[in-house]
Amino acid sequence: MKYARVYAGDVKVGDELPPLVKGPIQQIQLTRYAGASGDFNPIHQDDEFAKAAGMGGVFAHGMLSMGFVAQALTDWAGAGRVRKIGVRFAALVRLKDTVTCRGRVLATSSKDDLHLVELEIWAENGKGEKVVSGKATVALPSRE
């Protein structure tokens, strides 16, 4: 089941998120993301502009890749469970690239009713290069 519920007691350090493969990236998705996010930087829409800016052509919004990584987290932990997510945009995502989102549990902690899981998270393009890397914290329910 895609949105299976994960409980705090089931999670161990070293556990990996099920990989989430997004893309291939198409221009229409970047246009749609511009409208939805309000980021109309022409560098994501207009190839001539992106080339003139020295970027070699259009590339995806970093925030779109961060949205993909957040989806990998919430597909696993559940929507509304992410308490912190921080990433560095390490490389550009180009048109036709696939983006594979991954994560691994770094630490778990429990205090009273609050069960936190810290993860490293990242996304790779089709060549296996990291395009996004960072950390996240999710709060999970306990079984009781």
Partner 1 sequence: MPIQINKSVVGKEMPPFVVTVERGKIKEFARAIGDLNPLYLDDRVGQASEFGDIIAPPTFLTTFRDESADTSALLRELGTDISRVLHGEQEFEIHRPLRPGETFLCRSRVLDVYEKTGKSGPMAFVVREMVVTDKTDEIVATARHITVVRL
CA distances (Å), origin 31, targets 13, 26, 34, 58, 67? 39, 9, 5, 11, 15
Footprint on residues 80-139 left by partner 1 (CB under 8 A): 80, 82-89, 134
The length of the chain is 144
End-to-end CA distance of the chain: 22
Query: Per CB under 8 A, does 21 bind partner 1?
Result: no
Least separation in angstroms between residue 10's CB and partner 1 is: 19
Q: Residue 138 is inside which H or E element, if any?
A: strand 130-140
- Using CB under 8 A as the binding rule, the residues of this chain from 32 to 51 that contact partner 1 are 32-33, 35-39, 41-43, 49
Amino acid letter for position 61 = H
Window contacting partner 1 (CB under 8 A); options: 8-16, 63-71, 100-108, 112-120: 63-71
Is 68 an interacting residue with respect to partner 1 (CB under 8 A)?
A: yes
Q: Which of 64, 117, 119, 123 binds partner 1 (CB under 8 A)?
A: 64
Q: How far is the CB of 27 from partner 1 (least distance, A)?
A: 13
CB-count burial class (<10 Å; 0-12, 13-18, 19+) for 126: middle
- Say whether residue 71 binds partner 1 (CB under 8 A): yes
Q: Contact 122/72 with Cβ under 8 angstroms? A: no
User: Which residues are at the interface with partner 1 (CB under 8 A)?
Assistant: 3, 22, 29, 32-33, 35-39, 41-43, 49, 52-54, 61-64, 66-68, 70-71, 73-75, 78-80, 82-89, 134
